[in-house]
Amino acid sequence: SYELTQPLSVSVAPGQTARVPCGGDNIKAKNVHWYQQKPGQAPVLVLYRHSNRPYGIPERFSGSNSGNTATLTISRVQLGDEAEYYCQVWDSRTAGLFGPGTKVTVL
Amino acid sequence: EVQLVESGGGLVQPGRSLRLSCEGSGFILKDNAMHWVRQAPGKGLEWVSGISWNSDRIQYADSVQGRFTISRDDAKNSLYLQMNSLRVEDTALYYCVSDIIGYSFGSGFDRWGQGSLVTVSS
């Protein structure tokens, strides 16, 4: 069965760039979405289909996907970006598989 | 305000059944692919099931295949999840969600309800 890997945590200083990787076999061939979830709240879609931002999501959020790794990049990190981030892949085989999540901590 | 409102959760014994409902408020479910996603306490997200805008595509996670049934009633602007043979490991907050591109199944979930808690325990 297909599996996704994410680091447990990523730490970043305010104003710096955070990169959250999502690993999977030949992930570049799949649609990848990214979600942000803050404690006690429902998740929020921040990127869909690798690098498309929904309305209202800042340009500071961007995505890339190549080989076996998709990456969510958060530029000019703010305190409000501290949250759990989940990747999700979608194709006919994996359906809506989520990664285990990465806690982004703003130091 | 555009909302998805879940209902029907509660405490149920293992082996019993429960039916979750999701109603659109200010949001028309028709023409949108819809899904259920769950999150066990303190754990990550798990996609459970999805149904395309016209119901011609329905998928389930392996963990619920054969036990859960997703359906929709566009006349009632509602989505349902019939859960049978419930197990302790089905305990979770169940979210009703919709695809950002309504006609595209699995394009990314941009609308989420606040969730309905299902607790399976004897």
- Please provide the DSSP assignment of A5-70 as one string: B--SEEEE-TTS-EEEEEE-TTGGGSEEEEEEE-TTS--EEEEBTTTBPPTT--TTEEEEEETTEE
Distance from CA of A9 to the nearest CA of B (A): 14
Which residues on chain B are in Cβ contact (under 8 Å) with A88? 45, 47, 108
Distance from CA of A67 to the nearest CA of B (A): 21
A100 touching B, CB under 8 A? yes
* pLDDT in the model for residue A95: 85
Q: What residues pair up with A5 in beta bridges, in sequence order? A: A23
Does A91 score more than 90 pLDDT?
Answer: no
* pLDDT in the model for residue A93: 80
Interface test with B, best of A35, A53, A55, A65 (most B CBs within 10 A): A35
* pLDDT in the model for residue B54: 93
* pLDDT in the model for residue B13: 97
Cα nearest neighbour of B96 on chain A? A42
Q: What residues pair up with A91 in beta bridges, in sequence order? A: A95
Which residues on chain A are in Cβ contact (under 8 Å) with B110? 45, 48, 54
Q: How confident is the model at residue B30 (pLDDT cuts 50, 70, 90)?
A: very high
* pLDDT in the model for residue B1: 78
* pLDDT in the model for residue B79: 98
Q: How confident is the model at residue A94 (pLDDT cuts 50, 70, 90)?
A: confident
Which residues on chain B are in Cβ contact (under 8 Å) with A49? 107-108
Q: How confident is the model at residue A66 (pLDDT cuts 50, 70, 90)?
A: confident
* pLDDT in the model for residue A90: 85
- CA dist., res. B55 & res. B15, Å (int): 28
- Average pLDDT of span B26-43: 95
Residues within 8 A of B (CB atoms), A 54-83 only: 54
Secondary structure percentages of chain B, helix, strand, coil, to 5: 5, 50, 45
Does A92 score more than 90 pLDDT?
Answer: no
Local structure of residue B65 (DSSP, 8 states): T
Average pLDDT of chain A?
95
Helix (H, G, I), strand (E, B) or coil at B89: helix
